[in-house]
Structure 1
Amino acid sequence: MDGNIELVRELNGVKYFFDHNGNSSSRIVSTLGAFNQKVILISAGYDDNISCDSLGDILVEKVKHLILFGSATAMIEMSLMRKLTGKNQGIDIRITHCPTLKQAVDCAFLSSKPDDIVLLSAAGSCIDIYNGTEDLYDDYKQHILDL
């Protein structure tokens, strides 16, 4: 697995990962490709250069529950919704909006079951919420350890 993807904790058979390079939609595509199963993805941020097609395709293929937090998440959700039509119409992917990262972590915890993977990977800048990736990581790690 990519060295920038860190296992933060395993709890009740659920593995919680953090993507240290998660700051663009292309990075999410790469990170999700590293997992052999569908994941619970926590994401935030926005990217003006987001490729809705590539992000939407990987979300349909690799995500079973998309948890979005913060205010700048419309493009992430839109990239998925555009792909859940036509041939993908019967695919069931849960989408949850949370105002804070803590609530997103709690939502992931409550919806996960043994052998699930929870991944936090930002689709773009989270400057409206955090001062950088390490600030986001510190907050995520603390919430995971508090579970």
Structure 2
Amino acid sequence: MLLILLLGCFLSIPLFFLWYRLFKKYIINTKRRKLLTFFATLLTIPFIYIGSIFIWLFTISYYPDYSFNKKKWSTNQETRYELSKDIIGSRMLIGKTKLEVLKILGDENNKIEENHWIYYLGTRPELFNIDPDMLKIEFIDGKVIKVSQHPT
């Protein structure tokens, strides 16, 4: 609570002078200008707080989406989530056989006999996200029919 009050004071002083300077051009009466400046400062601070929170939420949950790159996929398992959107969106695996998928994505201890394969994608940067995501590949008659991303 004290931190919020200190931050409010820290923001309000320069904001007050900014409003005061802007109103100085348009409002001649000093008493009215100070009163209007005070209320403008009080009304502006919550918007700055809310805007700061939205910017913070956006920055902690942002991650880039890259086109699929086999070298990047095989060398850095923790950031595979950056490539998964392209794998799913481009439908690059749909219709491929199990051997073709192995050639593209590599072996991740999936059994050739199973019809559901899982690839580890790493943990996406999101608020309250502690679990990694997985790329799930479903096969029917040895060919990929569906590719999806799921949290564990």
Which bracket does the TM-score occupy, shorter chain normalised? Answer: under 0.3
Kindly indicate whether structure 1 or structure 2 has the higher relative contact order, using CA contacts under 8 Å at least 6 residues apart: 1
TM-score in terms of structure 2 length: 0.23
Larger radius of gyration: 2
As a proportion of its length, which structure holds more helix? 2
| Greater share of strand | 1
